[in-house]
């Protein structure tokens, strides 16, 4: 398959896939602090909702092995349905892929736990199906630094982009004059940005 040229992510072409941020899997995370990971994935979800990006969320073996989505993310997703599946690779689940296709978006931001399996395997498969995936690495976690390094090396070899949760959302927001800008920065938990916006507004009076 000929690789498509990279195009920019926008509010009209991008969806967010949140995969397997489950209570049981969080207990094994060793490459990033659990509190930081929760902060980052919740910020990603909140900002995506503010920007109007469709979110497709999924768990694996929720009732038999890995438990429910962590409460902080569940709350951030509101009443969004979280799809459960049995497959290791979410892209092997036809119902999940159908939900992604229903968004009508061909740019995908993925975050998952574990990074090298739950986020990376569907990113690899989605790329093969013509999508443009980007993995938000700091909204992912895994079970050792070696696994993170191996996962990063694999994505690099396959020319799949890796970025961080806040850069991706700010890139899509695009303009700090956007009426939602302060809310987006607050959702990303960047209070210094909101504060500076308020200071600037005060000076303008």
Range of the domain at 81: 14-174
Total count of domains within the chain: 1
Each residue's pLDDT tens digit, 126-148: 999 999 999 999 999 999 999 99
Residues with a catalytic annotation lie at: 118
Residue 6 lies in a domain: no
CA 21 from chain center: how many Å?
Answer: 10
Residue 139 lies in a domain: yes
Which residues are bridge partners to 16 per DSSP? 55, 109
**Considering all CA atoms of the chain, what is the largest pairwise distance in Å, rounded to the nearest integer?**
58
Domain CATH for 51 = 3.40.50.850
- Average confidence score pLDDT of the chain: 93
What's the pTM? Answer: 0.92
Residue 128 lies in a domain: yes
């Amino acid at each position: 398959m000929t690789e498509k040229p990279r195009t920019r992510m926008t509010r009209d072409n991008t969806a967010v896939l949140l995969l397997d941020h489950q209570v049981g899997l969080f207990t094994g995370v060793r490459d990033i602090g659990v509190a930081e990971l929760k902060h980052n994935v919740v910020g990603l979800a909140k900002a995506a909702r503010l920007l109007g990006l469709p979110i497709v969320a999924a768990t694996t073996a929720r009732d038999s092995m890995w438990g429910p989505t962590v409460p902080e993310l569940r709350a951030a997703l509101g009443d969004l349905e979280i799809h459960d599946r049995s497959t290791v690779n979410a892209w092997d689940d036809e119902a999940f892929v159908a939900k992604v296709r229903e968004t009508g978006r061909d740019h995908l931001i993925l975050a998952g736990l574990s990074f090298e399996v739950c986020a990376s395997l569907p990113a690899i498969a989605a790329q093969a199906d013509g999508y443009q995936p980007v993995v938000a690495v700091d909204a992912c976690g895994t079970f050792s630094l070696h696994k993170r390094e191996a996962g990063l090396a694999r994505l690099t070899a396959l020319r799949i982009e890796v970025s961080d949760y806040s850069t991706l959302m700010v890139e899509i927001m695009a303009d700090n004059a956007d009426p939602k800008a302060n809310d987006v920065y607050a959702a990303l938990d960047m209070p210094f940005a909101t504060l500076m916006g308020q200071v600037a507004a005060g000076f303008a009076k």
